[in-house]
Structure 1
Amino acid sequence: MTSVDAQDQRDPELPGRLLTTERDVLIPLLRARPEADFALPTAACPGWTVRDVLAHCSAALLRAVEGRLGRGVFSPESNDRDIAERAEWTNAMVVDELERGMTEAGPVIAAAGGVLDMLALGEWVHSGDVRETLGEPGAYAGPGQPHALVLLARATREKGHLPLHADLDDRDEPLRFGDLSGERPPARYIGGSATLVRLYAGRPVPDGGAGYELAGAEKEELNIFG
């Protein structure tokens, strides 16, 4: 397992590894699904279907690959335009573009010095959104999760997010998130890694949160995308 606490220094290749690891899970899954599944609404992204989420993801990655990143690129308006531009595409074309983006974006993100690392993390979270909507196991988990937790830990530190000590049911060692140098005592989380990702990403938690404990913070405070 990749140690989160050992990742105080940025690993420029990590976002690319996260993307290609998730690519190898997500793309075959999508190619095996019936066309009707792409029209399913996603609970995590109200108003967006599975296809909309995939189109947003593929467009964002291709913007990075092709160097088309400017002011307001990832605004809601820009996202809607990207989805609309692909409205006439087949589902297979959207999946093909997504595969290309997940394959080619890594070196670009690595060379950007850290400013695009959250793009890889966001893509991985959206893959979880899609997998959950399709009823597939491993949403916000799977082989890419150790990489995602490293990126998440560093992102929360860099953003000066609230400190949090996490005792995870499915990890041998506790993990630390957020800015631990301030006066606020760390919040305490006990539960699964996938649920912790959901909280940080502002995603719905199954069973109304009965499967985890959070002390010293409100769950809304953890959301790094909101």
Structure 2
Amino acid sequence: MSVTDPRRVAGLYQDTRQRIVALLDDHGDATWGAPVPACPGWSVGDVVAHLVAVAEDWVTGTLAGAPTDEQTAEHVRRFAGHDRAELLARWAAAGAELCRRAEVDGLIAPVGDVTSHEHDIRGALGRPGERGSEAVRYSSDQVLTRLDTSLPLCVTVEDADYRCGPDAEPELRLSTTRFEALRWRTGRRSRSQILAMDWSADPTPILGELCLFGPATADLIE
């Protein structure tokens, strides 16, 4: 199966969900209220509530793309007062339904969202890892393929080049990793952190075009 096969994508989602659950099990209830630096104002429990809501809404068709700020706030409100065990049970059920839908009608699971939040939670718990996972590779490919800039740009990661912008010279170049690309594209790096990356020239003219969300208002060190 290719990485674009819905069943394969659903498998990446489930693998990532299971890694998050294992992390939460390792740390127990004590860290449920821990702040998540990558998601200011949210706790670990809030991030999980959001993930459960995204999975449930994806299955029902209520959500089909990146949620708005209003939708993410509603996700947290929706599960206020729900305990950890209930949330994880609902997430397991929604994950199973994503797999079923992938099989029967080709629904593509929201891997980018769950992968980004896996690393948000890892940062909150001080447990970095899985930066070379297939979910990171898939998600980084998705966000880099969608990159569109007003100046010619080539982003080089471990195993590929991504070119965007007009076909012109000189071409601005950035050397980075898939993990870092996923993080800055999804607003987990500040303006100063983005400017400090390995650029061939000053990226300031396209800085506002690089992030799907953000950039972060403060440096995030992971």
Instruction: Output the TM-score relative to the length of structure 1.
Output: 0.73
3-state SS of 1:32 partner: helix
CA distance in 2, matches of 1:203, 1:146: 17
Q: Deviations over 1:152-200 (max 9, x none)?
A: 23333xxx456542333xx2x33215x3555475431223332222111
Is residue 150 of structure 2 the alignment partner of residue 149 of structure 1? Answer: no
1:41/1:50 contact within 8 Å kept: yes
Is residue 198 of structure 2 the alignment partner of residue 213 of structure 1? Answer: yes
Is residue 112 of structure 2 the alignment partner of residue 124 of structure 1? Answer: no
* Alpha-carbon shift at residue 73 of structure 1 (Å): 9.1
Q: Percent identity?
A: 22
* Alpha-carbon shift at residue 140 of structure 1 (Å): 5.0
Aligned positions of 1:66-81 closer than 5 A:
66-69=60-63, 74-81=67-74
CA distance in 2, matches of 1:105, 1:161: 33
Bigger RCO of structures 1 and 2 (CA < 8 A, at least 6 apart): 1
Is residue 17 of structure 2 the alignment partner of residue 23 of structure 1? Answer: yes
Find the counterpart in structure 2 of residue 44 from structure 1.
38
Q: 1:53 aligns with which of 28, 47, 52?
A: 47
3-state SS of 2:199 partner: strand
Find the counterpart in structure 1 of residue 160 from structure 2.
174
Structure 1, gaps ≥5 residues long: none
* Alpha-carbon shift at residue 123 of structure 1 (Å): 2.1
Structure 2, gaps ≥5 residues long: 215-222
Residue correspondences, number:
207
CA distance in 2, matches of 1:39, 1:23: 19
Question: Aligned-residue CA RMSD in angstroms?
Answer: 3.4
Is residue 89 of structure 2 the alignment partner of residue 96 of structure 1? Answer: yes
CA distance in 1, matches of 2:119, 2:19: 11
CA distance in 2, matches of 1:138, 1:128: 8
